[in-house]
Amino acid sequence: MQDARRSPHSGLPTPADLFVGRDGELVAVSGMLADARARLVTLTGPPGIGKTRLALACASAYAERSQCPPVFVDLAPVRDPALVMAELAQAAGVEPRSGADLTGQLAAALGNEERLVVLDNFEHLLGAARDVGQVLAACPRLRVLATSRERLRLSVEQQHFVTHRLNHYRAGLRMDYATTTAGDLATAMRTALARSGTGLGYRKVPRGGEVRAAARIAALLAEQ
């Protein structure tokens, strides 16, 4: 992710701007992860739709709830499925011992711990899905949240489709006022104000005649 710094406390990259417009999906995926039977939840969808961003928001909510920092593995630069477990080991702070099977070492290290692992951008490494299945089978309290343009095709997998494109997510830059709801507009205004550095906030959802004025203000702020 280009816009991310790494937060030392959460183990997750921290995006530079606000997460907007997917509150319902955040609740839905968080609900899936909260289920004790959840092992692998995969966010699937086309390039650039917002899978990574939604995964980060879900993982951060999970970390807050469980008080245990997630392990984030950025797989975008990894070219070989055989290296996925090594990347996971490195992110989880597991020192590989030469000669021993890495999947087994990971399983031993993560053991019975409650952990959430985010495997980000898995689509070009589907050959490593079997390894993920093996680690999950060996670590009963481990959960994986994956983002991928295609599902991993594991029997324990639950899929969440990210399909709804957020034209307004850049806080009004590409907002289509004909289809934008008052709630979306309020979100856009909050984001634009947060970015404006003015210290101003916006709490209400505009109604009736206020909508046109709110749309104009959001657009002006977005142009700053």
Ligand X SMILES: Nc1ncnc2c1ncn2[C@@H]1O[C@H](COP(=O)(O)OP(=O)(O)OP(=O)(O)O)[C@@H](O)[C@H]1O
Give me the DSSP letters along 54-66: HHHHHHHHHHHHH
The answer to whether the beta carbons of residues 10 and 18 sit under 8 Å apart is no
- Report the partner that residue 201 touches, choosing among ligand X, Mg ion, none (CB closer than 5 to 8 A by kind): none
Residue 147 binds ligand X (CB under 6 A):
yes
* CB nearer ligand X, residue 15 or residue 81: 15
| All residues at 6 or more sequence positions from 27 whose CB lies less than 8 Å from its CB, including other chains | none
Residue 44 binds Mg ion (CB under 5 A):
no
Residue 115 binds ligand X (CB under 6 A):
no
Name the residue among 98, 76, 97 with its Cα closest to residue 87: 76
Residue 180 binds Mg ion (CB under 5 A):
no
Give 166's strand partners: none
Annotate each residue in 29-48 with x if it binds ligand X (CB under 6 A) or - if it does not, as one string: ----------------x-xx
Distance CA 217, CA 215 (A): 6
Which of 11, 13, 50, 172 is the binder for ligand X (CB under 6 A)?
Answer: 50
Residue 52 binds Mg ion (CB under 5 A):
yes
Contacts of Mg ion in 94-133 (CB under 5 A): 121
Query: Which residue of the chain is nearest ligand X when measured via CB?
Result: 50
Distance CA 39, CA 33 (A): 8
Distance CA 130, CA 170 (A): 38
| Interface residue list for ligand X (CB under 6 A) | 3, 15, 17, 19-22, 45, 47-53, 121, 147, 149, 166, 169
